[in-house]
Amino acid sequence: MSRDDLSEYLFDYLGVAKIKDYCPNGLQVEGKPQIKKIITGVTASLALIERAIGEKADAILVHHGWFWKSDDSRVVGQLHDRLKLLMSHDINLFAYHLPLDVHPQLGNNAQLANMMGWTVAKPSKRSPLATLGVMDGLIWEGKPAASQKTLGQLARSLASRLGRDPLVVGDQNQPIKRIAWCTGGAQNYIKEASLMKVDAYISGEISESTFHAANEMGVAYIAAGHHATERYGIQALGQHLQKTFRIKHQFIDLPNPV
């Protein structure tokens, strides 16, 4: 498959034009024009590039790419080392951040729900989030699985399925009937989650202020891991491309405790 055809397909399939983000989504570094093998991973780290070279990949697809708006624009240090290695092997780098979080089938929120057996609620036009400017699909809500009726059961189920012990704020015996979730570093959306009248909010990370917000707003909070909650969207995207275009695909999971 040609690089340009793949880029155009993903732009349309992931609805990139509809989403305002703080990094470029799509082809970030141009490599060889024809793509036969894709490596997917969570972050475009030096270690992932080295693995992709070893696997003789033509392209790398990640959730966390480069060139964030807050980054130093100079090509020095860490970025220089990564970019030099990638370009010297003529490997393409594609990155999809928020478009991969919100996609209704392959997105991180959707994939986490599938992994955990959560029932997703249909978005309500009367949702309080509509007045807060929160992007459609960024925060999901629904019901936990039947085996996750308390906060402790929910936390243990996350630990078992994600392979990482979560950090839990709240009474382990608290009944959990409705939940909200947003993968990755979305702890600051706890206010929005509280307005949804849920019993618990699940995300990837936690800040010092999250502890106080959860207690004062009466919402249990679970930090299940940024990396742990965002492994599945990019993996599902790679599998989709393999099935649709018969491109070779390999997901490489490099452990990250955060």
pLDDT in tens, 200-235: 999 999 999 999 999 999 999 999 999 999 999 999
Confidence of residue 126 (pLDDT cuts 50, 70, 90): very low
pLDDT in tens, 164-194: 999 999 999 999 999 999 999 999 999 999 9
Tell me what pLDDT residue 55 has: 98
DSSP 125: T
Confidence of residue 238 (pLDDT cuts 50, 70, 90): very high
Q: Give CA torsion, residues 154, 155, 156, 158, to 10 deg.
A: 90
Rounded mean pLDDT of 130-159? 84
Pairing of strands 59-64, 92-95: parallel
The answer on pLDDT for 137 being more than 80 is no
Tell me what pLDDT residue 134 has: 43
Q: Give CA torsion, residues 57, 62, 68, 71, to 10 deg.
A: -60
Tell me what pLDDT residue 132 has: 40
Burial class (CB in 10 A: 0-12, 13-18, 19+), 211: middle
Candidates 136, 133, 138, 132; CA nearest to 109 is 138
Rounded mean pLDDT of 60-81? 96
Tell me what pLDDT residue 122 has: 77
Q: Determine the distance from the C-alpha atom of residue 258 to the mean position of all C-alpha atoms in its chain, rounded to a whole number.
A: 13
The span from the CA of 2 to the CA of 167, in Å, is 44
DSSP 143: E
Mean model confidence pLDDT for the chain: 94
Tell me what pLDDT residue 226 has: 98
Confidence of residue 257 (pLDDT cuts 50, 70, 90): very high
pTM value? 0.93
Tell me what pLDDT residue 241 has: 98
